[in-house]
């Protein structure tokens, strides 16, 4: 632009001087014209330079916005284009604030998703995994991150039940057996989502084993309550009639009737104790947690059922209902001694990340897979005189502590019972 102005100005000056010389003006007038022309040229050049500087600043600012750099602001002072610069700065500030807001939302969403126990996986239109959370990485249990992996190749390495659930649209439920032979129930949701005009697939997986377990326990409690109520309604009059019969038998001096009523009364009392035992399952109190004194607890357990301690005691505090925990461990130790009366019983306590594992092992015959799957159910027992109450009550207590019971057959014979409790609660 400067060269254009210079040419136009030079051409004008040349024409003006030619006209002046043609009219034969004095040299002073000519000099005045030259000075005026020079000053005019300088003023025009200065305005053109200011305009060009403002235009370059605006171009550089727009290039920064195009490159997602919203930190640029233009100097509005001493500028004849202050209104334009002010509008640019307002736009840049708004974009900067919006990006900061989006960044904070993304950070919050990322923390929430990574803290969530639900497995979240996003697959793009090319079939590549573009987002996962911490739970997903733990579920697939791979050394490397699954980000960027081919989804179908990843799915093909899973169990058939898992593959079928992930390849189906909508919602589905499937069951897997983990390494500890525990049944794990999963709920899977698969749905299409549009992101930047591209179709993606969102997978959300949630383990519902605990929810199903709670519902199962609640169902058993309702059944036990109904049975207990009906039996109590029958036991009360039978017990009263037996007492009256015993009095009549004494008055009649009839030993045979006395034996009959004594037998009936004994069975009624046994049935009453049986009902009270199962009623305790429906009335387990919430844990009253306190710091566990491990040496004292183990000393009390040794007085009931001897065992060999095979580990050091935890160094950090564990919160639990000590009386309930003692009841659980006594029951497990009792079962271990009954499974192997002469063999050694071992107990170990291992502190893992955010949990404590108490393992009790025997050298008995172990359990079949069917027994392991049903051992924690009420009424289920492999003992001739068993009520199926002990382990069911243990399960209720441990799950009230947000823990779990795990049964495993040992490789060289015997059974290992693992009590898992959260630490630091």
* pLDDT tens profile 23-45: 555 565 656 556 666 556 555 66
User: What is the enclosing helix (H) or strand (E) of 309?
Assistant: strand 308-309
pLDDT at residue 32, as a whole number = 59
- Sign (positive or negative) of CA dihedral 211, 212, 217, 222: positive
Q: Rounded to whole angstroms, how far apart are CA atoms 321 and 341?
A: 29
Give CA–CA dist 399/396, Å, rounded.
Answer: 5
The widest CA-to-CA distance across the chain, in whole angstroms, is 169
What span, in angstroms and rounded, lies between the C-alpha atoms of 405 and 30?
110
The pLDDT of residue 64: 78
Rounded to whole angstroms, how far apart are CA atoms 28 and 32? Answer: 6
d(CA 181, CA 271) in angstroms, rounded, equals 36
Q: Which residues pair with 347 in a beta bridge?
A: 309, 360
- Give residues with Cβ within 8 angstroms of 343, minimum separation 6: 362, 363, 364, 414
CA angle at residue 249 from 247 to 251, to 5 degrees? 70
pLDDT digits (tens, 9 = 90+) for 54-74: 777 777 777 877 777 777 777
Dist CA 190 CA 169 (whole Å): 5
Q: Residues in the chain with pLDDT < 70? A: 1-53, 76-81, 141-143, 177-183, 209-217, 277-284, 378-388, 424-425
Contact 184, 198 (CB under 8 A): no
Residue ranges in 253-319 assigned as alpha helix (H): 255-281, 294-304
3-state DSSP assignment of residue 415: strand
Which residues touch 340 (CB under 8 Å, ≥6 apart)? 362, 363, 364, 414
Q: Could you tell me if 336 and 305 are in contact, meaning their C-beta atoms sit under 8 angstroms apart?
A: yes
- Cβ atoms 7, 44 nearer than 8 A: no
| pLDDT reported for residue 349 | 92
Which two three-digit tokens encode residue 241? Answer: 């009639």
pLDDT in tens, 226-250: 777 777 777 777 778 777 777 777 7
Q: Choose among 153, 144, 106: nearest CA to 126.
A: 153
Q: What is the pLDDT of residue 13?
A: 52
pLDDT at 134: 82
* The predicted structure's pLDDT at residue 38: 56
Phi, psi of 352 (to 5 degrees): -100, -175
- pLDDT recorded at residue 14: 53
Predicted local distance difference test score (pLDDT) of residue 345: 92
Specify the length of the chain in residues.
425
Q: Residue 58: which of 84, 77, 93, 79 has the closest Cα?
A: 84
CATH superfamily of 116-207: PAS domain (3.30.450.20)
Fold type of domain 290-422: Heat Shock Protein 90 (3.30.565)
What is the distance, to the nearest Å, from the Cα of residue 219 to the centroid of all Cα atoms in its chain?
27
Report the distance separating Cα 373 and Cα 377, nearest Å. 9
């Amino acid at each position: 632009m400067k060269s254009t102005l210079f040419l136009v100005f030079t051409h004008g000056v040349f024409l003006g001087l030619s006209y002046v010389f043609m009219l034969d003006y004095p040299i002073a007038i000519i000099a005045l014209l030259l000075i005026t022309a020079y000053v005019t040229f300088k003023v025009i050049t200065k305005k053109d330079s200011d305009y060009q500087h403002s235009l370059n600043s605006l171009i550089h600012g727009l290039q920064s916005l195009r490159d997602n750099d919203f930190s640029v602001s233009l100097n509005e002072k001493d500028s004849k284009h202050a209104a334009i610069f002010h509008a640019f700065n307002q736009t840049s500030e708004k974009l900067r604030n919006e990006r900061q807001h989006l960044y904070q939302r993304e950070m919050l969403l990322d923390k929430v998703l990574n803290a969530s126990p639900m497995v979240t996986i996003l697959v793009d239109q090319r079939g590549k995994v573009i987002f996962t959370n911490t739970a997903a990485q733990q579920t697939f249990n791979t050394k490397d991150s699954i980000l960027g992996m081919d989804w179908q190749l990843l799915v093909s390495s899973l169990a058939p039940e898992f593959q079928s659930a992930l390849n189906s649209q909508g919602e589905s439920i499937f069951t897997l057996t983990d390494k500890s032979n525990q049944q794990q129930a999963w709920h899977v949701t698969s749905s299409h989502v549009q992101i930047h005009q591209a179709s993606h697939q969102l997978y959300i997986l949630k383990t519902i084993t605990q929810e199903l377990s709670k519902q199962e326990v609640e169902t058993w409690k309702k059944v036990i309550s109904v049975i207990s109520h009906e039996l109590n309604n029958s036991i009360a009059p039978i017990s009263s009639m037996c007492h009256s019969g015993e009095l009549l038998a004494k008055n009649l001096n009839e030993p045979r009737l006395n034996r009959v009523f004594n037998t009936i009364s004994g069975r009624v009392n046994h049935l009453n104790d049986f009902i009270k035992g199962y009623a305790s399952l429906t009335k387990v109190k919430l844990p009253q947690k306190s710091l566990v004194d491990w040496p004292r607890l183990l000393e009390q357990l040794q007085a009931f059922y001897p065992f060999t301690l095979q580990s050091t005691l935890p160094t950090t505090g564990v919160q639990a209902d000590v009386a309930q925990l003692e009841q659980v461990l006594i029951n497990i130790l009792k079962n271990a001694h009954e499974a192997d009366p002469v063999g050694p019983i071992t107990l170990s306590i291992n502190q893992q990340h955010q949990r404590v594992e108490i393992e009790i092992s025997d050298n008995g015959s172990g359990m079949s897979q069917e027994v392991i799957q049903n051992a924690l159910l009420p009424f289920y027992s492999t003992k001739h005189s068993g009520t199926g109450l002990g382990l069911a009550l243990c399960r209720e207590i441990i799950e009230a502590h947000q823990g779990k019971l795990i049964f495993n057959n040992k490789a060289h014979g015997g059974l290992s019972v693992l009590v898992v409790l959260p630490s630091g609660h």
